[in-house]
Amino acid sequence: MSTAARDHRSAGGPGADGEAGGREIAAVGHADLTADTLALVEAAFRERLGQPGRLEGFVERGRPVMVRCGAGAPLAFGRAARASGRRLVVAVPTRNGVPAPPPRHDRVAAGELLNLAEQARLLPYDPNHRDSCVGADERMIATSGLLLAVWDGTPSNGRDATAHLVAYARARGVPVEIVWPAGAERRTGAAPPAVPSWPLAGEPALRDGTRR
Protein backbone atom coordinates (compact mmCIF):
# COMPACT_ATOMS: atom_id res chain seq x y z
CA MET A 1 0.00 0.00 0.00
CA SER A 2 1.34 3.41 -0.96
CA THR A 3 0.86 6.65 0.92
CA ALA A 4 0.20 10.00 -0.70
CA ALA A 5 -0.07 13.40 0.94
CA ARG A 6 -2.92 15.28 -0.68
CA ASP A 7 -4.91 18.37 0.22
CA HIS A 8 -8.30 18.26 -1.50
CA ARG A 9 -8.96 21.98 -1.19
CA SER A 10 -9.23 22.63 -4.92
CA ALA A 11 -11.40 20.79 -7.42
CA GLY A 12 -9.94 19.68 -10.72
CA GLY A 13 -6.55 18.62 -9.37
CA PRO A 14 -4.80 15.43 -10.45
CA GLY A 15 -6.51 12.16 -9.61
CA ALA A 16 -4.95 9.21 -7.81
CA ASP A 17 -4.11 7.60 -11.15
CA GLY A 18 -2.24 10.67 -12.37
CA GLU A 19 -4.95 11.87 -14.74
CA ALA A 20 -7.17 14.92 -14.57
CA GLY A 21 -9.32 15.51 -11.49
CA GLY A 22 -12.80 14.12 -11.06
CA ARG A 23 -11.84 10.51 -11.72
CA GLU A 24 -12.48 8.70 -8.45
CA ILE A 25 -15.72 7.29 -7.10
CA ALA A 26 -16.33 8.67 -3.61
CA ALA A 27 -18.71 7.22 -1.04
CA VAL A 28 -20.36 8.76 2.02
CA GLY A 29 -23.31 7.78 4.19
CA HIS A 30 -25.07 7.72 7.52
CA ALA A 31 -22.86 6.70 10.45
CA ASP A 32 -25.71 5.04 12.38
CA LEU A 33 -26.66 2.17 10.05
CA THR A 34 -27.68 -1.12 11.64
CA ALA A 35 -25.54 -4.23 11.16
CA ASP A 36 -28.14 -5.79 8.85
CA THR A 37 -28.29 -2.59 6.81
CA LEU A 38 -24.51 -2.53 6.38
CA ALA A 39 -24.72 -6.01 4.85
CA LEU A 40 -27.45 -4.79 2.47
CA VAL A 41 -25.39 -1.72 1.57
CA GLU A 42 -22.28 -3.80 0.88
CA ALA A 43 -24.27 -6.05 -1.45
CA ALA A 44 -25.71 -3.00 -3.24
CA PHE A 45 -22.24 -1.53 -3.68
CA ARG A 46 -20.95 -4.81 -5.12
CA GLU A 47 -23.80 -4.87 -7.62
CA ARG A 48 -23.13 -1.32 -8.78
CA LEU A 49 -19.37 -1.75 -9.03
CA GLY A 50 -19.61 -5.11 -10.77
CA GLN A 51 -22.12 -4.37 -13.52
CA PRO A 52 -20.80 -3.15 -16.88
CA GLY A 53 -22.48 0.02 -18.07
CA ARG A 54 -23.32 1.29 -14.57
CA LEU A 55 -21.97 4.29 -12.67
CA GLU A 56 -21.52 6.77 -15.48
CA GLY A 57 -18.99 4.57 -17.28
CA PHE A 58 -16.65 4.43 -14.28
CA VAL A 59 -16.74 0.62 -14.21
CA GLU A 60 -15.31 0.32 -17.71
CA ARG A 61 -12.62 2.94 -17.08
CA GLY A 62 -11.45 1.14 -13.95
CA ARG A 63 -11.46 4.20 -11.74
CA PRO A 64 -10.40 3.85 -8.10
CA VAL A 65 -12.86 4.30 -5.26
CA MET A 66 -12.25 6.47 -2.21
CA VAL A 67 -13.62 6.59 1.31
CA ARG A 68 -12.77 8.47 4.47
CA CYS A 69 -11.31 6.11 7.07
CA GLY A 70 -14.00 4.89 9.48
CA ALA A 71 -16.63 2.34 10.41
CA GLY A 72 -20.06 1.85 8.86
CA ALA A 73 -20.69 2.79 5.23
CA PRO A 74 -16.97 3.41 4.45
CA LEU A 75 -16.06 -0.13 5.48
CA ALA A 76 -18.99 -1.62 3.54
CA PHE A 77 -17.89 0.30 0.47
CA GLY A 78 -14.24 -0.67 0.92
CA ARG A 79 -15.08 -4.37 1.18
CA ALA A 80 -17.30 -4.16 -1.89
CA ALA A 81 -14.66 -2.27 -3.86
CA ARG A 82 -11.99 -4.90 -3.29
CA ALA A 83 -14.42 -7.77 -3.83
CA SER A 84 -15.20 -6.20 -7.21
CA GLY A 85 -11.53 -5.88 -8.10
CA ARG A 86 -11.47 -2.10 -7.69
CA ARG A 87 -8.53 -0.06 -6.43
CA LEU A 88 -9.31 1.37 -3.00
CA VAL A 89 -8.02 4.72 -1.69
CA VAL A 90 -8.55 5.50 2.01
CA ALA A 91 -8.36 9.08 3.30
CA VAL A 92 -6.46 9.02 6.59
CA PRO A 93 -6.72 11.92 9.09
CA THR A 94 -3.57 13.85 9.91
CA ARG A 95 -2.58 16.37 12.53
CA ASN A 96 0.25 18.68 11.50
CA GLY A 97 1.12 16.27 8.71
CA VAL A 98 1.30 13.20 10.96
CA PRO A 99 -1.33 10.39 10.73
CA ALA A 100 -3.74 10.69 13.66
CA PRO A 101 -5.25 7.77 15.60
CA PRO A 102 -8.91 7.15 14.74
CA PRO A 103 -11.63 7.36 17.40
CA ARG A 104 -11.97 4.22 19.49
CA HIS A 105 -15.22 3.16 17.78
CA ASP A 106 -13.51 3.37 14.36
CA ARG A 107 -10.23 1.59 15.09
CA VAL A 108 -11.12 -1.96 14.05
CA ALA A 109 -12.74 -0.73 10.83
CA ALA A 110 -9.82 1.60 10.12
CA GLY A 111 -7.38 -1.28 10.42
CA GLU A 112 -9.38 -3.41 7.99
CA LEU A 113 -9.74 -0.55 5.52
CA LEU A 114 -6.00 0.10 5.52
CA ASN A 115 -5.38 -3.60 4.88
CA LEU A 116 -7.80 -3.49 1.94
CA ALA A 117 -6.45 -0.24 0.52
CA GLU A 118 -3.99 0.14 -2.31
CA GLN A 119 -3.29 3.71 -1.26
CA ALA A 120 -3.66 5.75 1.93
CA ARG A 121 -4.15 9.45 1.24
CA LEU A 122 -3.28 11.87 4.04
CA LEU A 123 -5.95 14.50 4.68
CA PRO A 124 -5.83 17.17 7.42
CA TYR A 125 -8.95 16.80 9.56
CA ASP A 126 -10.00 15.86 13.10
CA PRO A 127 -11.84 12.50 13.07
CA ASN A 128 -13.44 13.32 16.43
CA HIS A 129 -15.13 16.52 15.26
CA ARG A 130 -18.22 16.53 13.03
CA ASP A 131 -17.59 19.75 11.09
CA SER A 132 -13.97 18.82 10.44
CA CYS A 133 -15.10 15.44 9.05
CA VAL A 134 -17.70 17.17 6.87
CA GLY A 135 -15.00 19.45 5.51
CA ALA A 136 -12.84 16.42 4.68
CA ASP A 137 -15.78 14.79 2.88
CA GLU A 138 -16.35 17.98 0.91
CA ARG A 139 -12.72 18.05 -0.26
CA MET A 140 -12.93 14.38 -1.19
CA ILE A 141 -16.16 14.90 -3.15
CA ALA A 142 -14.86 18.04 -4.90
CA THR A 143 -12.14 16.04 -6.66
CA SER A 144 -14.27 12.99 -7.47
CA GLY A 145 -16.26 12.26 -10.59
CA LEU A 146 -19.09 10.35 -8.93
CA LEU A 147 -20.60 10.12 -5.45
CA LEU A 148 -22.32 7.06 -4.01
CA ALA A 149 -24.38 8.18 -1.02
CA VAL A 150 -25.97 5.86 1.54
CA TRP A 151 -28.85 8.21 2.29
CA ASP A 152 -32.43 7.68 3.46
CA GLY A 153 -33.57 11.07 2.17
CA THR A 154 -33.77 12.81 5.56
CA PRO A 155 -32.25 16.29 6.09
CA SER A 156 -28.94 16.86 7.84
CA ASN A 157 -28.90 17.55 11.57
CA GLY A 158 -26.37 18.25 14.30
CA ARG A 159 -24.86 14.78 14.02
CA ASP A 160 -25.41 13.62 10.45
CA ALA A 161 -24.50 15.61 7.30
CA THR A 162 -25.31 13.14 4.52
CA ALA A 163 -28.02 15.33 2.98
CA HIS A 164 -25.63 18.28 2.93
CA LEU A 165 -22.95 16.22 1.18
CA VAL A 166 -25.41 15.08 -1.50
CA ALA A 167 -26.42 18.71 -2.09
CA TYR A 168 -22.76 19.78 -2.09
CA ALA A 169 -21.93 17.26 -4.82
CA ARG A 170 -24.92 18.18 -6.96
CA ALA A 171 -24.15 21.90 -6.67
CA ARG A 172 -20.70 21.21 -8.11
CA GLY A 173 -21.94 19.05 -10.94
CA VAL A 174 -20.68 15.79 -9.43
CA PRO A 175 -23.10 12.96 -10.39
CA VAL A 176 -24.76 11.33 -7.37
CA GLU A 177 -26.23 7.85 -7.05
CA ILE A 178 -28.31 7.21 -3.93
CA VAL A 179 -27.91 3.81 -2.27
CA TRP A 180 -30.74 2.89 0.11
CA PRO A 181 -31.66 -0.80 -0.24
CA ALA A 182 -35.10 -2.13 0.65
CA GLY A 183 -35.19 -2.98 4.34
CA ALA A 184 -32.37 -0.56 5.26
CA GLU A 185 -32.62 1.01 8.72
CA ARG A 186 -30.72 3.37 10.99
CA ARG A 187 -29.99 2.76 14.66
CA THR A 188 -31.96 4.57 17.32
CA GLY A 189 -30.21 6.41 20.12
CA ALA A 190 -27.30 8.78 20.28
CA ALA A 191 -24.30 8.63 17.99
CA PRO A 192 -20.78 8.25 19.48
CA PRO A 193 -19.96 11.42 21.45
CA ALA A 194 -17.80 14.07 19.83
CA VAL A 195 -14.81 15.69 21.54
CA PRO A 196 -13.34 19.15 21.02
CA SER A 197 -11.48 19.66 17.75
CA TRP A 198 -7.73 20.20 17.60
CA PRO A 199 -6.46 23.27 15.70
CA LEU A 200 -5.38 22.39 12.16
CA ALA A 201 -3.21 24.60 10.00
CA GLY A 202 -5.21 25.80 7.03
CA GLU A 203 -8.50 24.38 8.35
CA PRO A 204 -11.41 26.61 7.24
CA ALA A 205 -13.57 28.27 9.85
CA LEU A 206 -16.41 26.07 11.02
CA ARG A 207 -19.73 26.81 9.42
CA ASP A 208 -23.20 26.95 10.91
CA GLY A 209 -24.24 23.34 11.47
CA THR A 210 -27.79 24.14 10.41
CA ARG A 211 -26.58 24.44 6.82
CA ARG A 212 -25.57 20.83 6.78
For all residues of the chain together, what is the average pLDDT? 79
Q: What is the pLDDT of residues 98-125, one digit of tens each?
A: 899 999 989 999 999 999 999 999 999 9
pLDDT at 142: 94
* 7-11, 160-164, 172-176: least confident range: 7-11
The answer on pLDDT for 206 being more than 70 is no
Q: b vs e for 129-139, b when ≥16 Cβ sit within 10 Å of the residue's Cβ?
A: bbbbbbbbbbb
pTM for the whole structure: 0.77
* Dihedral (CA of 134, 139, 140, 142) sign: positive
Share of the chain above pLDDT 90, in %: 56
The C-alpha atoms of residue 5 and residue 32 are separated, in whole angstroms, by 29
Q: What are the tens digits of pLDDT across the range 70-84?
A: 998 999 999 999 998
